[in-house]
Structure 1
Amino acid sequence: MRELGRFLILTGIALVVAGLVLSSGFGRGWLGRLPGDIRIEKGNFSFYFPLATCLLLSFLLTVALWIYRLFLRR
């Protein structure tokens, strides 16, 4: 139970830091507009799927959790 509490605290801190970084304007010009993001606009219809952005965020989250598991779980 102690590990779960530690994990939740670290996750909360990481979310607060990510929120502060994103609210400061970091990534405003490129986050969500990476090459590989799908954007279709035809007349009245528009479709947007940030595929490359999702892959990048997934990779960063995977690395962060791997580091947590490697160093903090000892």
Structure 2
Amino acid sequence: MTEFPKLLMILGAVLFAAGFIMQVIGKLPGDIFVKRGNITFFFPVVTCIVISVILSLLFSIFGRMK
């Protein structure tokens, strides 16, 4: 039962870090934002690319550790 609280703390830290990163890089130049009347459309193209590159690098680094 001692592993479960550690897992929850790690999960909470990861979620906090992800939220912080989304606040910092949430609206980069190149993201699509259209507002017409009552309709708002937002698609973070550049943000998705940046997150994809960061995750690819992290998975590559952690994959080599095995």
Query: The TM-score by the shorter chain falls in which range?
Result: 0.5 to 0.7
Looking at secondary structure, tell me which structure has more helix per residue: 2
Give the AA of the match of 1:51. V
What's the CA shift string for 1:42-62, capped at 9, x where partnerless? 111111001111111100100
Matched residues, percent identical?
31
* Offset, 1:30: 3.7
Q: State the TM-score, normalized to the length of structure 1.
A: 0.61
1:1-74 equivalences under 5 Å are: 16-23=12-19, 26-27=20-21, 30-70=24-64, 72-73=65-66
The aligned amino acid for 1:21 is A
**Higher RCO (Cα < 8 Å, 6 or more apart):** 2
One-letter identity of the residue aligned with 2:54: L
Distance 2:52 2:11 in 1: 15
CA RMSD of aligned residues (A): 2.7
Give the TM-score normalised by structure 2. 0.67
CA deviation string 1:6-55 (max 9, x = no partner): xxxxxxx87544322245xx346542210111000111111100111111
CA 1:64/1:15 → structure 2, altered by over 3 Å: closer, same or farther? Answer: farther
- What residue ranges of structure 2 are gaps of 5+ in the alignment? 1-8
Q: How many residues align?
A: 59
